[in-house]
Amino acid sequence: MWSRLNKLVFAACLIVPAFVYAQRIVGYYPSWAIYARNYLVTDIPAEQLTHINYAFANISGGQVVLGDAYADIDRFYPGDCWDPGCQRGNFHQLRILKQLHPQLKTLISVGGWTWSENFSDAAATAEARELFANSCALFVVEHGFDGVDLDWEYPVFGGDWDVEHRPEDGANLTLLCQRIRHKFDSLETLYAQPFLLTLATSAGLDHVADLELPELSAVVDFINVMSYDFQGAWSSFTGFNSPLFADPLDPYSEPGHTTANLDAALQAYIAGGVPRAKLSAGLAFYGRGFGNVANVNNGLYAPFSGVSPFGTWENGMFDYWQLKENFVSQNGYVRYWNDVSRVPWLYNSAAQVMISYDDTASIREKARYVHDEALGGAMFWELAADRDGELLAALSDELTTRFPPPELFVVTFANDSLHLQWTAVPGAASYKVWSSSDAASDPVNYTLELSTGGTHAVLTLPADRMRVFFVTAE
């Protein structure tokens, strides 16, 4: 660190791994992770992500509102202050995370399984859509988000018991997105930065049929397809939570036999007119457990009754970290692999429990599918379930390219400028210099792209700021 105390100008240099993201990696962070899970925003390995979707904001009075005010804007983190006007909570930590990781975008996810009951009303009329769209614009500006992710579960039919439905929900969703896009376009002009609009949508083909996919694709930045929860307690036989491909031995009748898998869901969106680059394949960082499973076929496609009588936070649901620590190939649970669906499962014949889940091998298979199918990227639910970062590391490893970080050093330092130089990286076509600040009002000063492959830069320094510099090779 160097300083000029007469002008209170500080500069610091920091080397970071040079990740180049071929496809986006979108991770959901649930607000409730700060409680029993004790997984904080500061625990997120943000260098391996392109987007964080914060779950969830609610809808009240037709407008987007805080889902958990304490978690969102009030929880005290080290370094926060209690003075009036001080920024605290998860939202403030997300701002800090973006300062340290300039590639990162954050979106507020609205709705989810629990809070989708008011979506239909919010989209039903022109007046309601205007009110909702305005609230989206106000929310992202006030709380420092880069966009909004609409997680309406679900238009037209389905979802939790209290979700309102209309036959015209699909068309109204299009109109709602068009209005939000109009508001965000105005924000982009005002703030000179893009604002993102994304959707989280069902992998069920009956739900896909209710969406106006070409029209939606024209106004949203991308669509996160929730290609998981294909089988569970509601099923007739045990099966996979998130198979990559259909298994000919799957006993389910049509259409589920061939459509209840990630590939079928993504191909349905492509056939419906969504550009591949606007699709994110949904991955599950959790498993589903079945109880009283008959000891046939190692517990796969077997009769069962009820969920497993235990789980991580609720019966029948397992975070990946707990499966790895307590179940995989231990305590009577044997790991099996399905070569067709490309996913594992666990079975304990004594306990009569079968668990369908994803591990590093299946996540890598799905990441390669994303690459081979030229999709825009992958999304996963959710970060706290992979608290050790093992699944995310596998996903990031498949979807990013790395160069060794250049050696960065300072040539000269003046009152208001800094001359940086770095070593050339073999194979790199260009370099980027990133600058971030400790000021919430000045999160990213600039990104300097040196496409000519130059290995130095002279940068202007503002006063009264701690500034961190990064250089990446591409």
Active site residues: 153
Q: Which two tokens stand for residue 294?
A: 């008959």
Secondary element (H or E) of residue 224: strand 222-226
Q: Bridge partners of 318?
A: 287
Query: Residue 286: enclosing H or E segment and its boundaries?
Result: strand 286-290
For residues 268 and 208, the answer to whether their CB atoms sit within 8 Å is yes
With residue 150 as reference, give the H or E element that holds it: strand 147-151
103 and 50 in contact (C-beta within 8 Å)?
yes
Residue whose pair of structure tokens reads 């550009």 in the numeric block: 275
Q: How far apart are CA 223 and CA 203, in angstroms?
A: 11
Handedness of CA 232, 238, 239, 240 (dihedral sign): positive
Q: Which of 231, 246, 253, 249 is nearest to 356 (CA)?
A: 231
267: left (phi over 0), alpha (psi -120 to 50) or beta: alpha
Q: Distance (Å, rounded) from C-alpha 51 to C-alpha 85?
A: 27
